[in-house]
Each structure stands twice: as structure tokens, then as C-alpha cells.
Amino acid sequence: MITRTLGEISVMIGATDLSDKHATIKIEGVSIDSRSVKLHNLYIPIKGERFNGHEFCQAAAANGAVAALWNKSEPNPPQDMPLLFVDDTLAAIQRLAQAYRSQLDVKVIGITGSNGKTSVKDILAGLLATTFKTQKTSGNLNNHLGVPLTLLRLQEDTEMAVVEMGMSGLGEINQLAAISQLDAAIITSVSEVHLGDLHSRERIAEAKLEIIHGLKSNGLLIYNGDNPIFMEQFNKQSPVCRSLSFGYSPAHALHPLTSFMNENGIFFSISDADCPELFLPMLGKHQMINALSAIAAARHFGISYEQIKQGLLQVEATGMRCELVSIGNCTVINDAYKSNPTSLRAALEALYAWKGKGSKRKIAVIGDMVELGQEAEDLHKEIGEELDATQLDAVFTIGSMAKHIALSAMSKFPYGKVTTCMDKQEVIDQLKQIIQEDCIILIKGSRGLRLEDIITALQKEVAFI
């Protein structure tokens, strides 16, 4: 993590009014939350629509902060705490992160995309860690604050940093990539997830391609070339950086040749003859495609295929992304972190392909997909029309939009096999009746639904049986 004197911090962010007696005070790490401040942290108060971090400076000091930034426009700065005055604390933390990154001898790989960012981050970090001291984005710190915090948490001797980058509008990835000064960039996918904000798939592709502008002159862009709309935007821009495509199509530089999935993960081979058969302990062919991008980046930085083979076995995956949970006689695929048409189709494919032991019934619990704009109802109906009645024994939907999935699917399923629910408790009550049966249950929905609560409730139910 960043360790600098206040004098050095002042120069890095262009702060004013730092007294000479405070210039030699050393800070160790930064925090934007007074409740999680650690000893010797620099507290950086952020002002939002519903809160103002400046109000908690005293609390930050009580928890161990040795100094703070202060927005010049905020009244009543504390008199008993060293302060660095800036025009905007958000802009200041971004400047600080950019300056700190430029001082480090570290390679930074930025990852963006509508789906798969976190999985690619986890896989790539596992591969790079076989050879280099590697750090990665923690949790979901991937926005205008999360990326600066990720960079400021890098140790001075970190050799590789894997940084996830999210966005909700044009210009955001451009800013994050510029702050990060990328040695390589990965675009995992482009899908409907941002339609509510950007209104068209073309604009979503344009937003993801902004990552190119943060690449160093010798940097490498690795991109999923399976999406025609993305490729149209890519060809329009004609980026001058080095690039490498991956995906299902044999036209790509890196593509799968064979694959086989069981309950432990997926075995696959790729288009490079020098690469042995690989095994990834994650569910779904979409994870194999995610792995292709990580393999391409790892090879770019000198990781051997033997190291890649071992690294895939050591991936520390973030939870709620096709995560397996055992409850009674049931196996649950917890994919409750988020949902959109592309990721839902991938999760359903993983469920269809399940070849675990026993003759398990296959059940899908599907919640609303959000942020789909004016196409939301139609996109939910499409999913319903695509559900495979030969692969599913029961379907439960949750929410007013997911109801359209159920209504579109009912004609294909036997009576009573598709059930619409308006809240989680209805689903929990239904699933309680079957959790002692031999079944596998997919739970998939957008983040706001917190469908992992269903799993918690079922685990408690089993504990009392």
C-alpha cells in the first residue's frame, strides 16, 4: 500500500496549505470510510448525494487516521488534524492513484466487459501468481473510486496488478484506464447489461473500447471477437495497438478445440499446439472462454503452459459466480451476483450440461434482470422462449420482469412445472419441499434481489431437519 510523507502526497496531488511541521508525517495506506480506517491511514472524505465524508473526519482520526484531505469548499475544517486542502477530494484520490502507479515498477492489466470481468480477474491473477508477486482488485472495487483504491493498495514490490474496470456510461473506462496506465487490456464481452444507461449495443461496445486509450505504446489488447456489433465498432476505430482475439470461432487467434465438463469443472484444449490439455475448476463453457483471455495475457508476460496448467488449479474464485453449494441432497449453483441475458444463458447452459453423479432433477430459479432499458420485457420473453423443457424439471421466477420468462415458457412445459413468484419467501417455501431430493438448483438474478438469501434460508432449514 502507499507509504509516503504528507509532503510527498501534497506534491503528488497538488494540495495547498500544508504546514512545514506536518510535511514529514508518514501515512500508510488510505481509506474513504471512517469506520474502516487503520492506524496511520490518510483519510479521504468523499461527498456524495446522500452523505458527506467530511462530517466524519473526527471519527477517522479517533480510529487511527493521521491526516486527511479536505475539500476547500467545505466549512469548518478540523483544527486538531493535519489537512491537505484540495478543490475536489474525488479528483485528488484519482490523481494520487495515478501518481503512485507511475512510481511503481509494476505491470498493470486492465479488464473490462459486460460479463466475465471478475472471473477473468481471478483466473489471470492465479496464472500470474505462479511466477510474479501479484495483486488483484478486491471484491467489486472497479469504479471511479474502486480502481484508485485498488492501485493505492498495491505493495511497492508488486510485479503484476490485475485491475477490474466497470462503467455505467461513456468516458468512465477512458478515465480509469488513464489512471492505471495499462501494459495490457482485456475486453471480455459486450452484452445488453448496460442498455438502461447507454441505450444501444453500439454505444456499449464504444464504451468498452475506451480501454485502448489507457494502453502504453507497447501494450497488448486482448478482446473477445465473437460479438459482431463489437467487431463493427472495433473495425471502425482501427486501433493501432497490438491486439489478439479470442472466442469460440476458429477465426480467432485463441479458441477452444475440445471441451468436456463435469461437476468439478471443465477439461479443454486450445488452438495452440504447444499447450497441453487444461482443467479449470469452474463451471460452464463461458468460464473456458474467460480462461482463454487470461491465458493470452499470461503468455504475453512470459508464463509457460506448464505454469498455466498449474495456475488454473489454484484459482481463487470470487463467490456467487457459478459457485457450488451443497444443501441436504441438493447441489446449488449459486450464480446470484448479477444477471443479464448473456450471463443467464451461460448459467443455464452450465445447468443443462451438468453431469454430476445420480439422476438429479434440474431446477432453475430465475430472478429479474435489471438495467435493460426499453428492451427489458422483450429480453425476458426471449429467455422464456429459449428455456429447454427437455433439460429442466422445474422453473421458478421471481419478480415482475422475470414473470415474462415464466409466461413465455409455460406452453412448452408440463402443467405446474413453471411457477411465478413475486418474492423470495415464496420460492423458499417451494424449495423447502424438495431440498432432500436428488436435485441440482440454479439460482440466478440481478444483484438487487440478493437471491443468495434463498440459499441461506435453505441451509438453515436443513440444519433443523
pLDDT (tens place) for every residue of the chain, 465 residues total: 999 999 999 999 999 878 888 999 999 999 999 999 999 999 999 998 888 999 999 999 999 999 999 999 999 999 889 999 999 999 999 999 999 999 999 999 999 999 999 999 999 999 999 999 999 999 889 999 999 999 999 999 999 999 999 988 899 999 999 999 999 999 999 887 767 777 888 999 999 999 999 999 999 999 999 999 999 999 988 777 899 999 999 999 999 999 998 888 999 999 999 999 999 999 989 999 999 999 999 999 999 999 999 999 999 888 778 888 988 888 999 999 889 999 999 999 999 988 765 568 999 999 999 989 899 999 999 999 999 999 999 999 999 999 999 999 999 999 999 999 989 999 999 998 888 788 999 999 998 999 999 999 999 887 655
Query: Are 262 and 327 part of one and the same domain?
Result: no
Query: Are 412 and 273 part of one and the same domain?
Result: no
Domains in the chain, number: 3
pLDDT value at residue 359 = 61
Query: Are 192 and 67 part of one and the same domain?
Result: no
Query: Are 133 and 218 part of one and the same domain?
Result: yes
pLDDT value at residue 193 = 76
Inside any domain, residue 93: no
pLDDT value at residue 258 = 96
Query: Are 123 and 266 part of one and the same domain?
Result: yes
Q: In Å, what is the CA distance from 244 to each residue of 113, 241, 366, 373, 391?
A: 16, 10, 35, 32, 36
Binding-site positions: 113-119
Bridge partners, 215 (sequence order): 182
Longest dimension (CA), the chain: 78
pLDDT value at residue 177 = 97
Pick the closest to residue 364 from 337, 400, 338, 389 (CA basis).
389
Tell me how far apart the alpha carbons of residues 298 and 307 are, in angstroms, rounded to a whole number.
Answer: 10
Inside any domain, residue 140: yes
CB 53 within 8 A of CB 19: no
Query: Are 201 and 65 part of one and the same domain?
Result: no
pLDDT value at residue 321 = 82
Q: Considering 281, 312, 343, which residue would you say is the last residue of a domain?
A: 312
CATH value at residue 333: 3.90.190.20
Pick the closest to residue 224 from 182, 286, 160 (CA basis).
286
pLDDT value at residue 387 = 97
Query: Are 232 and 307 part of one and the same domain?
Result: yes
Tell me how far apart the alpha carbons of residues 223 and 343 are, in angstroms, rounded to a whole number.
Answer: 18
3-class DSSP state of 179: helix
Query: Are 217 and 72 part of one and the same domain?
Result: no
Which residues are CB-contacts of 433 (< 8 A; sequence separation ≥ 6)? none
pLDDT value at residue 356 = 65
Q: Considering 312, 333, 360, which residue would you say is the last residue of a domain?
A: 312
pLDDT value at residue 464 = 56
CB 446 within 8 A of CB 397: no
3-class DSSP state of 15: coil
Q: Considering 312, 335, 364, which residue would you say is the last residue of a domain?
A: 312
CB 71 within 8 A of CB 89: yes
Inside any domain, residue 254: yes
Inside any domain, residue 97: no
Inside any domain, residue 452: yes
**In the numeric block, which cell numbers belong to residue 18?**
500544508
pLDDT value at residue 463 = 62
- Is pTM beyond 0.85 here? yes
Q: Classify 40 in phi/psi space as left (phi over 0), alpha (psi -120 to 50) or beta.
A: left
Per-position b or e across 413-438, b if 16+ CB within 10 A of its CB: beeebbbbbeebeebbeebeebbeee
Inside any domain, residue 416: yes
pLDDT value at residue 174 = 96
Query: Are 389 and 458 part of one and the same domain?
Result: yes
**In the numeric block, which cell numbers belong to residue 152?**
493505492
Inside any domain, residue 317: no
Amino acid identity, position 107: K
Binding-site positions for ATP: 113-119
Q: What share of the chain is helix, strand, coil (3-state, %, to 5)?
A: 40, 25, 40
Inside any domain, residue 283: yes
Per-position b or e across 94-123, b if 16+ CB within 10 A of its CB: bbbbbbbbeebebbbbbbbbbbbbbbbbbb
pLDDT value at residue 398 = 96
pLDDT value at residue 462 = 74
Query: Are 62 and 131 part of one and the same domain?
Result: no
CATH value at residue 76: 3.40.1390.10
Query: Are 26 and 113 part of one and the same domain?
Result: no
What is the residue range of 445's domain? 323-463
Query: Are 60 and 181 part of one and the same domain?
Result: no
